[in-house]
Structure 1
Amino acid sequence: MNILLKSCTIIDPEGPFHLKVKDIYIEGETITSIEDSISLAADKVVEIPNLHVSYGWYDAKVNFQDPGNEVKENLSSGLTAAALGGMTAVSVTPMTNPTLSNKTQIEYVRKKAEYSPVEIYPYGTLTELGEGKNIAEYYDMSQSGAIGFTDGHQPVNAGIMYRALLYMKNVNSKVVSFPYDYSIFGEGQVNESKASVLTGLKSIPNIAEYLMVERDLSLTAYTESAIHFTGISTKESVDLIRDAKKNGIQVTADVYAHHLAYTDKEVLGFNSNFKVLPPLRSEKDRQALIEALKDGTIDFICSDHTPEDKENKDLEFDLAHFGMIGTQTLFATLNNVAGLDLSDKINAIAIRPRKVMKLPYATITANSRANLTIFDPKLEYSLNADDLASLSKNSPLIGKNLTGKALGVINNGIISIFED
């Protein structure tokens, strides 16, 4: 199938057509021409006001709950939500039931994306069955397509982390660490701040994150390995990572979009959709995260899409599960963040995550592979629950007026245009 994109602004910070308005002609899986004006016949012509195009967006952390919790989300609904959000790739977390702990499970989730414009690059568990006792089958899972290894929100002891970091050097992969010391915050619910005082909810102090970042950086330096931190939320952690990078430690990090857009003030209304882990932090932390993203201390942004059904979310705040959905609304969430321009955002959700996770990437040029997201960064719309493809609706954005929306995705020869 041939497709012609008319008068589109190309957002490709590393490419020759960045910020230029061009026509793009695509034949099958390949961009064959980029010109000021193209008049070739096409099976489909896309001509939409304020049309923008970038390399395909990649949400590097989603929790699709499949296998085991398909009532909350399955791979099909999750991939649909991701596509509607402009993603052409996602990385699913392994703490499902059963866990993604062997090559069979890795192959299972990858095969589910066979006919989707959204590719799945899964994580495998860091330990056998995610139980924290013995390191997992890294080589076999890597050969089957696992791009990194994590036990999700379950911390591992220093000995396991040390051995995992050593082994990663042999499989050209990396540990993905969610840095939290549960012994510090126990049953904490919200940030340790005025929010915890005013709500009366148990608190989660910044040091619970800082201590684990410090430990894992020390182990990474000692083993001369590489580590990726997911869900960094505090200024103290940012400072540690910035210094580690300056000292040559092989560390990368991501931040969840909601930590850039919101602060702990949101929980004062006891809306359980703002109950996330890490908790929403202070304005000081939020500003530190934005600055860290801009200076490269934090490498990229992801959604931490975590579906929860009504039985586990529509409860009193302290009883509700942690998490919010976000892959479909990732870009709109970022559009609420002052201090990041459009190039910053595209870098953080399309280019930099692919580089960190060693996924295919190329600038938008003639003869390159067509892996594209089509979007309008200024499109205004109201989000209804029925608009969300996720089986769960735990989003604080329902009923809100949003700006910025994906209009379609093109990948693997599959063309999905949502707005035409």
Structure 2
Amino acid sequence: DDTIKEIGNKLDIDDAEVFEADNLHVSPGWFDLRAHFWDPGHEEKEDIESGINAAIFGGFTGVAVSPDTNPPIDSKADVEYVYKKAEEFPVGVYPYGAITKGQKGEELSEMYDMYQAGAVGFSQGKSPLANSALLKLALQYHRSFSPPLHLMPLDHDLAKGGQIHEGEKSIYLGLKGIPALAEEVSVQRDLHLAQYAETGVHFMGISAESTLGILSQARKEGKDFTADVAVGNLYFTDEDLESYDTRLKAMPPFRSKKDNEALIQALNDDLISAIASDHLPQDIENKKCEFDHAAFGIIALESFIGAIGKSLEGKVSWERIIELISINPRRILNLEIPSIEEGNWAELTFFNPALEWTFEKKHIQSKSANSPFIGKPLKGKSLGIFNKGTMVWLADM
């Protein structure tokens, strides 16, 4: 049964299986706003089953997956493929559809058909849409039937060839920088286009303090937007890159300590309303090479809550954290929120917010191992999930 029967302190549990753990907490199931499962096309990096295994270990009951597959998710059949492959597992997998055909940025995809098939939203993934006229058309077209478009705030021309955050550290390391300006310019453009189209927009992976200033002003002006931050940008800064470890090469890049602190404050101010894993598996060939040639991306589903607990300790309340990883992601996508009430369906995550542990390679459930969290101290751990009538208990893992 997947229904919450009764809530209380002294329940009749004679015929029930009991799960116990120290400092056990429960919340509505966590939902990841953005992960890359690479299925179809790059199953050597990740497939839907291995991605789900990583999500289960991380405590997620739902994951929205990027359309960056090969071929991209740009048709009704592609959306149906994802749902079909994930239907037997206790984690809901919700595909985004590509805004443009083949993610080429040249022609709009059949967004309405994909929406009818269950596409949870629309995105260009890690391929920013440079064509402003086409983006304006997409914003006008989708507004009558789907949640806001999910856009990566990056001006490709300004960021071209960049490897890490542009600043003192990029000069010291001799690596070409990715300026915050590349994010600012994109956000300004997209806000103007969305206002013109009389619709909202969602910004994926805000990383720069200067961008937050733009968003703050936009909020005062009544512009319609939401934004998220990737968990890696809360835990790491460009100071961590001195070893040239390619596992730390991410997009958006890990920026300065000042940017990091501003992002955390923005979580409390609700300028940023969700935290995403931005789980992006890369195989060893794409990471074990010179920094300039390494692919962008980190895996983060398995270490997600521990990284949040460690980086936000004493700065953001756990009540707010649950909003950021469970309630708000669903709200952004117009999905029903699984509130914990008698008679409701049960979609739950069990966790210990105070558990201190070190992330190790053995914890990785993904097919890829490009985690910058290996060997890092974490605080907070998922202990299990209940979804689709199935309990998965992780307390001993």
1:114-141 deviation per Cα after TM superposition (whole angstroms, max 9, x unaligned):
1211101110001011111111111110
Once residues 316 and 37 of structure 1 are traced to their aligned partners in structure 2, the CA distance between those partners, rounded to angstroms, is 59
Secondary structure, aligned partner of 2:144: helix
Q: Which residue in the other structure is 1:285 paired with?
A: 259
- Aligned residue among 30, 35, 48 for 1:57: 30
Indicate which of 119, 138, 141 corresponds to 2:111. 138
Query: What is the CA deviation profile of residues 188-243 of structure 1, one whole-angstrom value per residue up to 9, with x for unaligned ones?
Result: 00111111011000011100010000000000111111110001101121121222
Tell me the secondary structure at the aligned position of residue 170 of structure 1.
Answer: coil
Quick check: 283-292 or 199-208, which moved more?
Answer: 283-292
Query: Partner residue of 1:11?
Result: none
State whether structure 2 residue 127 is matched by structure 1 residue 115. no
Structure 2 counterparts to residues 364-379 of structure 1, below 5 A: 364-379=340-355
Does the Cα contact within 8 Å between 2:149 and 2:202 map onto a contact in 1?
yes
Q: Given residue 367 of structure 2, which amino acid in structure 1 is its aligned partner?
A: L
User: Residue 196 of structure 2 corresponds to which residue in structure 1?
Assistant: 222
8 Å Cα contact 1:62/1:306 also seen in 2: yes
Specify the code of the residue in structure 2 equivalent to 1:215.
R
The equivalent residue for 1:350 is 326
CA distance in 2, matches of 1:310, 1:383: 19
Structure 1 CA distance, aligned partners of 2:198 and 2:95? 25
Secondary structure of the equivalent of 2:7?
A: strand
**For residues 86-124 of structure 1, what are the alpha-carbon distances to aligned partners after superposition, in whole Å with 9 as ceiling and x for unaligned?**
000001000110110001000111122212111011100
Shift of 1:268: 1.4
Q: 1:97 aligns with which of 54, 70, 80?
A: 70
Which residues of structure 1 form unaligned runs of 5+?
A: 1-27
Task: Report how far residue 384 of structure 1 moved.
Answer: 2.2
Does residue 1:310 correspond to 2:292, yes or no? no
Counterpart check, 1:276 vs 2:237: no
Kindly state the Cα deviation for residue 159 of structure 1 after the two structures are TM-superposed: 0.5
Q: Would you say the 8 A contact 1:224–1:249 is kept in 2?
A: no
- CA deviations over 1:271-290 (Å, ceiling 9, x no partner): 11111011111111111111
Tell me if structure 2 keeps the 8 A contact 1:168–1:225.
Answer: no
Tell me, in whole angstroms, the C-alpha distance in 2 between the residues paired with 1:56 and 1:296: 21
Instruction: Specify which of 98, 101, 108 is matched with residue 125 of structure 1.
Output: 98
The one-letter code of the counterpart of 2:216 is R
Helix, strand or coil at the partner of 1:377:
strand
Give SS of 2:86's match: coil
Within 5 Å, give how 1:37-48 maps onto structure 2. 37-48=10-21
| Segment drifting more, 225-234 vs 166-175 | 166-175
Deviation at 1:401, TM superposition (A): 3.5
Calculate percent identity across the aligned residue pairs: 40
Q: Does residue 389 of structure 1 match 2:362?
A: no
Give 1:155-174 correspondences, 5 Å limit: 155-156=128-129, 157-174=131-148
The letter of the residue matching 1:286 is N
| CA–CA separation in structure 2 for the residues paired with 1:214 and 1:380 | 40
- Contact 1:374–1:406 under 8 Å retained in 2: yes
Q: Paired residue for 1:3?
A: none
Match of 1:83 in 2: 56
CA distance in 2 between counterparts of 1:412 and 1:359 reads 16
Are positions 1:414 and 2:390 aligned together? yes
Single out whichever of 371-380 and 241-250 deviates more from structure 2.
241-250
Please give the residue correspondences for 1:235-314 in structure 2 after superposition, counting only pairs within 5 Å: 235-314=209-288
> Which range moved further: 187-196 or 165-174?
165-174
Letter in 2 for 1:312: N
Q: Aligned residue for 1:196?
A: 170
The 10-residue stretch of structure 1 (299-308 or 312-321) with the greater mean CA deviation from structure 2: 312-321
Residue matched to 1:14: none
Deviations 1:250-305 (A, max 9, x none): 21110001111111101111111111011111111111111111111111000100
Q: Which residue is 1:152 aligned to?
A: 125
Shift of 1:345: 1.3
Distance 1:417 1:42 in 2: 19
> Is the CA contact (8 Å cut-off) linking 1:178 and 1:231 kept in structure 2?
yes
The 1:241–1:329 alpha-carbon spacing in structure 2 relative to 1, beyond 3 Å, is same
- The structural deviation recorded for 1:400 is 3.0
How many residue pairs get aligned? The number is: 393
Contact 2:384 2:394 in 1 (8 A): yes
Cα deviation, residue 380, structure 1: 2.7
* CA-to-aligned-CA distance 1:48-78 (integer Å, 9 cap, x gap): 1111100000111001111100111111000
Alpha-carbon distance in structure 1 between the residues aligned to 2:15 and 2:36: 38
Give deviations 1:156-190, integer Å, cap 9, x for gaps: 21011100000112223321100111111210001
The one-letter code sitting in structure 2 at the alignment partner of 1:64 is: F
TM-score of the superposed pair, with normalisation by structure 2 = 0.97
Native 8 Å contact 2:147 2:332 kept in 1? no
Contact 1:61/1:93 (CA < 8 Å) preserved in 2? yes
Residue type matched to 1:397 in 2? F
Work out the CA distance in 1 between the residues paired with 2:15 and 2:105: 54
Mean Cα deviation higher: 207-216 or 361-370: 361-370
Give distance in 2, aligned partners of 1:195 and 1:395. Answer: 22
Q: Using the alignment, how far apart are the partners of 1:98 and 1:358 within structure 2?
A: 27
- Aligned amino acid, residue 53 of structure 1: V
Residue 245 of structure 1: how far off its partner (Å): 2.2
Structure 1 vs Structure 2 CA RMSD: 1.2
Gaps of 5+ in 2: none
CA distance in 1, matches of 2:232, 2:360: 19
